[in-house]
Structure 1
Amino acid sequence: MLHFKDSGSGPAVILIHGLFGDLNNLGNLARELLANNYRVIQLDTRNHGLSPTIAGMTYLQQADDLAELITTLELQSVSLVGHSMGGKIAMAYALANPQQVQQLVVADIAPVPYQSHHQQVIAGLKSLWQQPTSTRQQADQLLSDFVDDVGVRQFLLKNLSWRDGECHWKLRLEQVLAGYHDVIDWPSTEHSYSGPTLFIKGTESDYILAEHRPAIGRHFPNSKAKLISHAGHWLHAQKPGAFNRIVATFLSANG
């Protein structure tokens, strides 16, 4: 079963991180929701963080992972918040189990297949894998040959730790890369979820485009959209105040 952190009491909200992340990625939002009297469940998706190493990364498989967790926690109704890959997991679960999802928040992703956005990131991670480093500084220097953005490098390096000069990985890179095609894909489905749904987009991101509106409307007919100015795909980290307020306000209004 997936590794998770369960905190607080009140209406249950599950937070689902994106590719190459872990349950701490939405930590700022978790603290905001705990302060507003929600029960917050943060999870590590398969092959990430402290969750098991499992072959396969399809959204049907990952929605089943989420279903197992919800069943184990005996949750009758949940709200789901997911970023990027986590948003697709949340959408896949809501489409398959609409009666269990009270409301849905999807951060900067649409229910469509994508072309790869991660070529340089993947090249950098492969380089780190093939050339073990002894310090964080050494790893950052190596990764900087592939990834210019300091914030993205800091995010990726959270998957590594160093003890006695040896590098240790939390991310199971081999399994994630083997399933990468499934991560950027989207399963064909005619199902829809009519519950309250919010899509949040960074104005500087190209992950949600006008051409995606028909798919969003078809699968999520009761959806709304919010924009966060001067934010890209990592909007929850770049503009945490705005992101947290939007999510908390939406959940409160529809709870």
Structure 2
Amino acid sequence: MAVERRSVSRAGLSLSIAVSGAGRSQVPVVLVHGMGGDHTTWGPLARRLRRGGRTVISVDLRGHGRTGPAESYLLDDFRDDLAAVVADLDVDSIDLVGHSLGAHTALRYAIAAPDRIRRLVLEEIPPMPRDHADLAEDIAPSSTLGERIRGIGAVVLNPIPFLRFDRALADPVLTAFTVADPEWWRSLRRVSAPTLVVSGGSRSFLPPKHLRDLASALPAGDFVTIDAGHSVHRDRPVEFADAVCTHLR
């Protein structure tokens, strides 16, 4: 399957996207990777979606992949980059799938532009802490030993995303997730799209109860656990694709 590589300009940054598939009669699916990844992380899911006749757009976030580094790494910067990519597609609506930082980016975009999202999948999304109690329960991302070991194995198999990753973004992004933001939780009521929240279960550093709370706070939220740790789409690709494709149908 041929992959078309394109770039979208925003604020002096050239955002790299990969477009594949030819499902012109269907809503396109936009995939947004997590921290340290790039568009290639979605290979198995993208192939499954293309077999179903879908057009797939995989984004390289700022500081990742072919997009390259940026001067600012605010959480809303990632959201605004995604908004530029969606605007460039020139379609009425999209299905949106994100992992970790990419899921948080996707949800911020869905809050800002709810009418553009038909269906939404949030895999292992780090929610903003609501208060100091959330902070005390380690809601902020901090990977477990097992996840670090599995991550090293993934780097050995495909080192390019790791080599292109701008390490300068880690501190501002992780720091942002340590700031309590109750308004972010109130803004979830704006998301009208049916949304599937996917938890990696007890093997993940993100407490599943926080992701369940997030699903409950969304007007049309659903919740599923696939006990794979933080990178569900990488470590349990078939089960993850089954859940995503069922939800997007």
| TM-score (norm: length of structure 2) | 0.78
Aligned to 1:143: none
The structure-2 alpha-carbon separation of the partners of 1:90 and 1:184, relative to structure 1 and needing over 3 Å to count, comes to farther
Select 2:22's aligned residue among 2, 5, 9. Answer: 9
Aligned to 1:181: 175
Match of 2:37, SS? coil
Match of 1:62, SS? helix
Larger of the two Rg values belongs to structure: 1
Match of 2:40, SS? coil
Select 2:99's aligned residue among 83, 93, 116. Answer: 83
One-letter amino acid matched to 1:71: A
* Mapped partners of 1:209, 1:62: distance in 2: 24
Aligned to 2:199: 201
One-letter amino acid matched to 1:221: P
Contact 1:20 1:159 in 2 (8 A): no
Gaps of 5+ in 1: 122-146, 162-167
The structure-2 alpha-carbon separation of the partners of 1:54 and 1:215, relative to structure 1 and needing over 3 Å to count, comes to same
More helix by share: 2
Match of 1:18, SS? coil
Deviates more, 1:97-106 or 1:171-180: 171-180
State how 1:133-144 maps to structure 2 within 5 Å: none
Contact 2:197 2:215 in 1 (8 A): no
The structure-2 alpha-carbon separation of the partners of 1:181 and 1:249, relative to structure 1 and needing over 3 Å to count, comes to same
Match of 1:57, SS? coil
| 2:221 pairs with 1:240 | no
Gaps of 5+ in 2: 1-8, 10-14, 130-138
The structure-2 alpha-carbon separation of the partners of 1:73 and 1:170, relative to structure 1 and needing over 3 Å to count, comes to same
Aligned to 1:124: none
Identity %: 28
Quote how far apart the aligned CAs of 1:174 are. Answer: 2.4
| 2:242 pairs with 1:251 | no
Contact 1:49 1:159 in 2 (8 A): no
Deviates more, 1:184-193 or 1:20-29: 184-193
Match of 2:242, SS? helix
Aligned to 1:19: 35
Contact 1:8 1:37 in 2 (8 A): yes
State how 1:101-112 maps to structure 2 within 5 Å: 101-112=117-128
